[in-house]
Amino acid sequence: MKLPLADSTGFTNSFGMSGDKLNVLIQLAIFATQHGMLWVGQAEMNQSTDSLSLNRLGSHLGLMAQSDNAPADITPPSGDLQTARCFGARVATITRQFYR
């Protein structure tokens, strides 16, 4: 019997640098696995906390971003947006591997 596969991931954003983002990702991962889903984590390594850096918040369970209370054209920082693009590409690549 072939079981249907589904992959899942999570992302979270908050004003605070912590903002309990890790707790959100942990809860989402638990819920996903309770439903038999495969969880996709972040592959980008944290190199710096500079706002231009990929995965500047150092998350590996999913995508984390941080937004200041500033105009929408500068928040979230460009590094977080680029991390989101890379993460979306990773999820798409993994999903395609399961459905070939």
Question: Residue 53: inside a domain, yes or no?
Answer: yes
Q: For the chain, which ranges sit under pLDDT 70?
A: 1-5, 71-73, 100
Q: What is the pTM of this model?
A: 0.84
Question: Residue 84: inside a domain, yes or no?
Answer: yes
Question: Residue 66: inside a domain, yes or no?
Answer: yes
Interval 43-62: pLDDT, tens? 999 988 888 899 999 999 99
Q: Is 21 helix (H, G, I), strand (E, B) or coil?
A: helix
Q: How many domains does the chain have?
A: 1
SS3 content of the chain, % helix, strand, coil (to 5): 35, 10, 55
Domain housing 33: 7-98
Structure tokens at 40: 């996709």
Question: Residue 25: inside a domain, yes or no?
Answer: yes
Question: Residue 92: inside a domain, yes or no?
Answer: yes
Question: Residue 70: inside a domain, yes or no?
Answer: yes
Question: Residue 2: inside a domain, yes or no?
Answer: no
